[in-house]
């Protein structure tokens, strides 16, 4: 190949990169998307009397989430200060909304709860209590390296793939009287589930959803204590 032609090809390649003509993003066909499922409440008994069907109506405010979690990519923590964002494994919906939806479904399974509304609430909706949740951790945790093993600071990508890891969720929550805007009870829920292998994103999402069952259970128990 003549040297002049080689130079022209090199210039065109550089120009294509500079002007974004080369797509360096992962192809859509290679990306997998995941959603939190929650558990559907049992079907309503249409023959139940108004007294039997009575229960609390609860509203869930827009969930607050740690900024590093507010991303389409699923997060795995690889030590106290390092996190990995899975470019090819992403949430299929806005994560704060997904968490709220799952929590609402689990709350609805409680016998004392008639309905749970997630923002945006229905017009003129009235709630016995309003719940505000703030999520600080919602991720997988890779195991630390064995003692004496050094980690290359320039190493990229997820490490410890296939090894046993932990799924962790940490959240605080407040139950608020909507008439006075006073906090009637507040608490903190921490869930750490084993039995997950690093890199198994389907298993990670399933266990993250399971942690929300515990969160909803803590909130429901707190509301029942207030009501009793």
Tell me the per-residue pLDDT of 68-93, one tens digit each, with 9 for 90 and over.
Answer: 999 999 999 998 899 999 999 999 99
Residue 52 has pLDDT above 50, yes or no: no
Report the C-alpha gap between 89 and 114 in whole angstroms: 36
Q: Where are the domains of the chain?
A: 53-145+159-227
Q: Which CATH architecture has domain 53-145+159-227?
A: 3-Layer(aba) Sandwich (3.40)
| 199 phi-psi bin (left φ>0, alpha ψ -120 to 50, beta other) | left
Q: Name the pairing type of β-strands 73-77 and 83-91.
A: antiparallel
Q: Report the chain's terminal Cα–Cα distance, integer Å.
A: 86
185 burial type by CB count under 10 A (0-12 exposed, 13-18 middle, 19+ buried): middle
Say yes or no to pLDDT of 155 above 80. Answer: no
Segment 181-207, tens digit of pLDDT: 999 999 999 999 999 999 999 999 999
DSSP string, 117-168: EESSPPTT---SEEEEEEEEEEEEEPPPPPTTPPPPTT--S--STTSEEEEE
Q: Please state which of the ranges 22-31, 93-102, 114-123 shows the lowest mean pLDDT.
A: 22-31
Q: 109, 41 in Cβ contact below 8 A?
A: yes
Residue among 115, 121, 119 nearest 61 (CA)? 119
- Could you tell me the CA-to-CA distances from 95 to 23, 74, 99, 135, 212 in Å, in that order? 26, 10, 6, 11, 13
H or E segment and range at residue 203: helix 201-227
pTM: 0.82
């Amino acid at each position: 190949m003549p040297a002049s032609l080689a130079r022209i090809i090199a210039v065109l390649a550089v120009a294509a990169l500079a002007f974004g003509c080369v797509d360096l993003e992962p192809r859509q066909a290679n990306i997998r998307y995941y959603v939190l499922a929650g558990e559907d409440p049992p079907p309503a008994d249409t023959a139940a009397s108004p007294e039997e069907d009575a229960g609390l109506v609860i509203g869930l405010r827009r969930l607050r989430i740690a900024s590093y979690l507010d991303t389409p990519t699923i997060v795995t923590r690889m030590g106290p200060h390092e996190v990995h964002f899975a470019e090819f494994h992403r949430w299929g919906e806005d994560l704060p909304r997904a968490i709220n939806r799952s929590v609402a479904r689990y709350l609805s399974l409680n016998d004392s709860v008639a309905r749970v509304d997630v923002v945006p609430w229905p017009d003129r909706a009235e709630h016995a209590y309003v719940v505000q949740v703030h999520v600080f951790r919602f991720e997988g945790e890779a195991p630390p390296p064995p003692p004496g093993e050094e980690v290359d600071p320039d190493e990229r990508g997820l490490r410890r793939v296939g090894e046993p890891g932990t799924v962790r969720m940490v959240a605080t929550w407040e139950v608020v009287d909507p008439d006075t805007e006073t906090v009637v009870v507040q608490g903190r829920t921490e869930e750490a589930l084993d039995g997950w292998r690093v890199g198994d994103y389907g298993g990670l999402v399933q266990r993250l959803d399971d942690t929300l069952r515990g969160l909803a259970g803590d909130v429901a128990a707190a509301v029942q204590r207030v009501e009793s």
